Amino acid sequence: MRCFSCNNLSFKAICKDCANDFLKPEMIEEEIGNLEVLSFFDYYLTVEFVKSKYLPIGYRVYKYFAKNYFAPFIKSYIENLDEKKDIYLIGVDEHVDRGYSNVALLTHIGAKGAKIKALHNVLKAKNRVQYAGKSLEFRLNNPRDFIYSGPKNIDAILIDDTTTTGTTLEEAHRVLKQSGVNVHFALTLANAKEGIDY
């Protein structure tokens, strides 16, 4: 097996050297509406890794992110809660594309590592519009039209891969609130603060 970034032999999708050089989490915090969004990386500093989702190797790269960043962070959050309660992970539109869903992978492994439950495929977009490269105006005029089919009146963490303008997370949060889902925060891999999509 070879490292996705440097192509050197590696037991993991990303070798230790590349992880140390390029993947030091900085935990970017952003408020979108009344939703707190936490992102591990600046999109522009990790763009080659984030865009791996478009390649066959993306499965291995996103599995690496889920195991090394999402699962430990979620586990630590759950363990440090003052009041112990059941918290679920909900992925934003876990649509399968190119053989897998990168968001479902982050959600599944994140939940497994934190020993909590993932609610898969319960937050689906009726509108399959592609936002890549589109303006904020386009996004606002073409909402995802999410449908939530999971349990009501629960606590959850919302999972997505990248935050750009925040319209997707804001819409997802609004739909979940309507079903009584108390979203503690959203957790994403990368934040594109300038709002330029991928």
Q: What is the pLDDT along the chain (198 residues), one digit of tens a residue?
A: 899 999 999 999 999 999 999 999 999 999 999 999 999 999 999 999 999 999 999 999 999 999 999 999 999 999 999 888 899 999 999 988 778 999 999 999 999 999 999 999 999 998 777 766 667 677 777 778 999 999 999 999 999 999 988 899 999 999 999 999 999 999 999 998 754 444
The domain spans of the chain are 25-191
The CATH T-level fold of domain 25-191 is: Rossmann fold (3.40.50)
Angle at which helices 102-114 and 71-79 pack, to 10 degrees?
Answer: 40
CA-to-CA dists, residue 4 to 16, 53, 56, 161, angstroms: 11, 12, 11, 18
**Coil vs helix vs strand at 114:** helix
